[in-house]
Amino acid sequence: MLARLVAFDTVSHKSNLPLIDFVEDYLAGWGVASTRFPNAAGDKAALFATLGPQDRGGIVLSGHTDVVPVEGQAWSRDPFTLHVEGGRAYGRGAVDMKGFVALALALAPDFLAAGLRTPIHLFFSYDEEVTCLGVIDGIAAMGRTLPRPLAVIVGEPTSLDIADAHKGIRTFLTSIAGFAAHSSKPQLGASAVHAGALLAAELDRMQEEAKEQPDGSGRFDPPYDTVHVGKFHGGIARNILADKAELSWEIRTLPGSDPEAGPARFGRLSETVLARMRKTAPSSTIETVMTSDVPGLAPDPGSEAERLAMRLSGRNHTIAVAYATEAGHFQRAGLPTVVCGPGSIDQAHQPDEYITLEQLQAGEAFMRKLMAECKAG
């Protein structure tokens, strides 16, 4: 099953519909109906299916179907052909996170034959690697047209440790329009690059200040909110005031931090910088658009999801992870949620990405324990 899923090139800027078609047909072959949640363009979709009783909420196994690009990476083998060697299964998405999805699908016949009293819901999304918005429509349907789940397990690779916390992330694109003029007479225009430099410097100050306010839990690395400018470009020549510039930036916040504070501060400075630009170029503009909003996952000690995952994994403690996931969206909707899946995030997003066969076997054992729990009711 993992080999079949890896063979679908579902890099985030491409359609995932061939994979979704395959999953839908596969489940239909076992008599399981699926519900699709397409994106606005119609070229991608999330899929929800219930194994077991249809009239009640159960346990969601949630995984994303998209993967990160392979271009520019030094792969030693075809990234979209699974290659098994030395106790490892290599391929793009093998660990992040088609391994978890493959386990859920491969065990679907066993789930169905078990006579489950508590259903197991399969929920497979898109665009997790870019926006984490592929789960939104499906989550909105839970408790309305779909059963409201008892708990959610997001199967990102944690080596089957139980993650009950991660940072939230908001990403932004700031577009600056100035007015071009000869650099010897700056009073005749306004430089978008100079404006962008002021804004980037403010983001750097925000990062330095955040370092002075570390989280006291000892669970996060680094233990503070992070602010980062990933791209900054503009201008066409040294002796021309730049008429255009763009900044692509992000803020990652700890659970409990105010996600509005940083963007609000940036907005206030943008107004000040814009007023300065308009003294010499009244047509200047600064526009910031939030391109993604991924809520953090906050600890929820004793939740149904945490207690269930502890029983299934044999762990008696939780961890926090540095990366963001779709789990925060489930929690925001009031659904008990943890992150727990086979494989290590250390192997994700790299050339020759892999999951160990040992972790796949551990993941199978985890799901068979879930099957036993759901059979008992």
Q: Which residues are catalytic, by number?
A: 66, 128
Q: 141 φ, ψ to 5°?
A: -80, -15
Distances (CA, A) of 228 to 29, 127, 199, 200, 204: 47, 22, 12, 9, 8
Token digits for 315?
Answer: 């762990």
Beta-bridge mates of residue 226: 252
Q: Could you tell me the end-to-end alpha-carbon distance of the chain, in angstroms, rounded to an integer?
A: 28
Distances (CA, A) of 190 to 240, 244, 267, 279, 285: 10, 10, 19, 9, 10
From the number of C-beta atoms within 10 Å of its C-beta (0-12, 13-18, 19+), residue 120 rates as buried
Amino acid symbol at 338: V
The whole-angstrom separation of Cα 352 and Cα 350 is: 6
3-class SS at 355?
strand
The answer to whether 126 and 44 have CB atoms below 8 angstroms apart is yes
Residue 349: Cβ within 10 Å count: 16
**8-state DSSP, 81:** S
The answer to whether 246 and 232 have CB atoms below 8 angstroms apart is yes
The whole-angstrom separation of Cα 17 and Cα 242 is: 42
Q: Are strands 226-234 and 244-253 parallel, antiparallel or unpaired?
A: antiparallel
Non-local (6+) Cβ contacts of 190 within 8 A are 178, 179, 241, 277, 278, 280, 281, 284
**8-state DSSP, 248:** E
Non-local (6+) Cβ contacts of 19 within 8 A are 5, 8, 10, 65
What is the DSSP track for 216-227? TTS-SSSSS-EE
**8-state DSSP, 148:** P
